[in-house]
Amino acid sequence: MVFGEHKQSPNPDMGGTENQDVPGIYKLIEQDIGVSEIVGEIFKNYHNPEALYLGFNYLLQKGSDGEATIRFIAQNDKGSLGEIATKILESKSVAPGELEQIVGMPDRMKNMMALPENYSHEDVVNFYLEAARYCKEKYGDEVDVPKDSSELNFYLDTFSGHGIVAPQLSGEVEQESLVVSNTFGTAELTYLELNGPEEILRLRDIEKPDLLLLGSMGSYSAREFSAYCKKINSTAKPHVIDRYCDMVGDFAGERDMEFKIADALDLPHEDGSMDQVYTNYLLHSFIHDNRKEINREILSKLFAEINRVLKEKGSFVLAEHPYGLNIGSGGSKENIKELIAVALQNGFDISNSTEGFAYSYVIRQDVIDFKTGQGGAQIDEYGFAKYGDSLIEKLSPSMGFRFQKK
Ligand SMILES: C[S@@+](CC[C@H](N)C(=O)[O-])C[C@H]1O[C@@H](n2cnc3c(N)ncnc32)[C@H](O)[C@@H]1O
């Protein structure tokens, strides 16, 4: 378990969107204007790490042309840009997090904790004790932590993806101090990181982008999703569907959101009508059959439907627990292989992945407030999500992917 330093008070700025205009360097990247123009922007923005991230990331996507340009900067600039270019060339393949470090951005997820891979009951107790201590320090909240094995089983069930209670349905989510229910907002970080700044700026640059969540389980996820969409782009239109009437809260029509009772396998939306589609721990609820070929069939239908409703350049972003044969088994490798195969067969490319984990807030007060739409991450003008001093859990086994419509 690793804790970084943290401040005493919550960040008062969290939850807003500073600027809806996309930065000039992104406009040029989006037009695929060419490496020499982007180098000009890199030199103009030498003091701005986030602009440098966008510029160098563009060059990294440009294969041998991009590499030659980074080499040119490394050889010819005697200042900080030359150093950055040299560090990039020295790394074999540069992951987004590593590029953020190289260009000098501060760690956006400084308070991170995770259970060890094969955790014991004692590890879970220690995890909750640390989280409770942190919650008390930050919010002054006294938190009950599991004391005996029956209480601990409650938490273990939460961890294994078999939530034995659904505070979402009984309207009790805000009574949680530590997160024990996976609503959309608890996994907001997974979605923001899977999108990354370029995809967030792409969505911000669209007038009224349409975003769709499949499955809500009460009002919390729908409302948190709605608030998330508005943070990305205040003109965004959130759409939510759920198959079962009794899963619907009293939120229809709120925050400009469209809600429909519908089956994810047979969506009521027009072809090419959505800029993004999301699932939030949906698959395990309808792929619990342990016959693999049935999983494939259902998954294929789901991916084909999502592909149909996505616009050109649209993407499908998911955060999921292991499902099917892997439910409760603690593993997700087979699911990951299967998801990739099904995505490729149904008209998608893989844009981004967290592979076997997802990110979650640990303290409920750090999650977006479903009533006001405030809180959670703040997204800055360069499309980077800022998590302030929020306590973040690296949750595994879980799966996160962003699939891009081909
Ligand atoms: C486990 S919950 C998803 C997690 C949710 N975001 C939350 O707040 O916990 C799954 C939701 O998907 C819905 N669902 C299950 N199968 C579905 C389907 N085929 N089409 C649409 N919704 C479905 C269920 O009714 C339920 O509300």
The 10s digit of each residue's pLDDT in 192-243 is 999 999 999 999 999 999 999 999 888 889 989 999 999 999 999 999 999 8
Q: Is the pLDDT confidence value at 346 over 90?
A: yes
pLDDT at 280: 95
Which residue's structure tokens are 């034995």?
164
Q: Burial level of 250, CB count in 10 A (0-12/13-18/19+)?
A: exposed
Ligand 1 close to Cβ of residue 285 (< 6 A):
yes
Atom 11 in ligand 1: residue holding the nearest Cα: 215
Average pLDDT over the chain reads 87
* Residue 217 alpha carbon, nearest atom of ligand 1: 27
Best mutation site among 285, 360, 395 for ligand 1, i.e. most ligand atoms within 8 A of its Cβ? 285
* Domains in the chain: ranges and CATH: 32-102 (no CATH), 184-405 (3.40.50.150)
Single out the residue of 309, 14, 56, 346 nearest to residue 189, CA to CA: 14
Across the range 336-347, mean pLDDT stands at: 96
Task: Compute the distance from residue 215 Cα to the ligand 1 centre, in Å.
Answer: 4
pLDDT, tens digit, for every residue of 126-185?
A: 888 899 999 999 999 888 776 666 666 656 555 554 444 577 777 788 888 888 888 999
**pLDDT one-digit tens code per residue, 317-341:** 999 988 887 776 667 888 999 999 9
Q: What's the mean pLDDT in 48-71?
A: 96
Per-residue pLDDT for 393 more than 70? yes
The sign of the dihedral angle between the CA atoms of 125, 126, 132, 133 is positive
Q: What percent of the chain shows pLDDT beyond 70?
A: 85
Residue among 243, 267, 301 to mutate when testing ligand 1 (max atoms within 8 A of CB): 243
Task: List the single range of 16-20, 37-41, 120-124, 285-289 with lowest mean pLDDT.
Answer: 16-20
Is the beta carbon of 348 within 6 A of some atom in ligand 1? no
Per the CB < 8 A criterion, the answer to whether 314 and 195 are in contact is no
Indicate the DSSP class of residue 326. Answer: G
Check pocket membership of 281 for ligand 1, CB cut-off 6 A: yes
CA distance 188 to 211: 14
Structure tokens at 164: 């034995």
CA distance 97 to 91: 13
Task: Name the residue among 182, 181, 209 with its Cα closest to residue 195.
Answer: 209
Q: How far is CA 123 from the centre of its chain?
A: 26
Going by alpha carbons, the residue nearest to atom 27 of ligand 1 is 217
Residue 150 is predicted with a pLDDT of 62
DSSP letter for each residue of 85-138: HHHHHHSSS--HHHHHHHTTPPPS--SEE---TT--HHHHHHHHHHHHHHHHHH
- Which own/partner contact pairs does 338-342 have at CB distance under 8 Å and 24+ positions apart? 338/292, 338/295, 338/296, 338/299, 339/299, 339/399, 339/401, 340/401, 342/296, 342/299, 342/300, 342/303
